Amino acid sequence: MAKRTYRAPVGRALYTAQLAVVHYSGLLLFHRRMLYQDSLMEVSHLEALSTILHIAYETYAHDKRNMSPFSWGLEMAAIETHDPIYSGWIRDRLLEAPNNYRHSVIVSETLDQMLRSYRDYKPFH
């Protein structure tokens, strides 16, 4: 993908909209995890997962310093995805985030604890 250059007001508005979408999609995945953990993912949950990954990838490609506020949505995506490539990519982004955003350290530690609870979890270190 080609990197986009935004004028300040347009770029900030787009970033804010992306942040809202990632947060909303994370909430969809969170509620699925809390209420319907044993059922198969519905189309809306798969779309939420895909949306988080797509926006995070584009944001990272544009400017990786803007990834930190996406930490919570990325954590939910990491919990819900069963693809080790996506899980590894998300894990790497969360490990980079503490350099830019202090709260991400807590998110990264929480993600490790939650993923360890799954029987097939292997650390990405």
Q: What is the pLDDT of residue 118?
A: 58
> Any idea where the domains of the chain sit in the sequence?
8-116
> Residue 81 pLDDT more than 90?
no
pTM above 0.85, yes or no: no
Q: pLDDT exceeding 90 applies to what percent of the chain?
A: 18
SS3 annotation, the chain: CCCCCCCHHHHHHHHHHHHHHHHHHHHHHHHHHHHCCCCCCCHHHHHHHHHHHHHHHHHHHHCHHHCHHHHHHHHHHHHHCCCHHHHHHHHHHHHHHHHCCCHHHHHHHHHHHHHHCCCCCCCCC
Q: Which range is most confident: 71-80, 104-113, 116-125?
A: 71-80
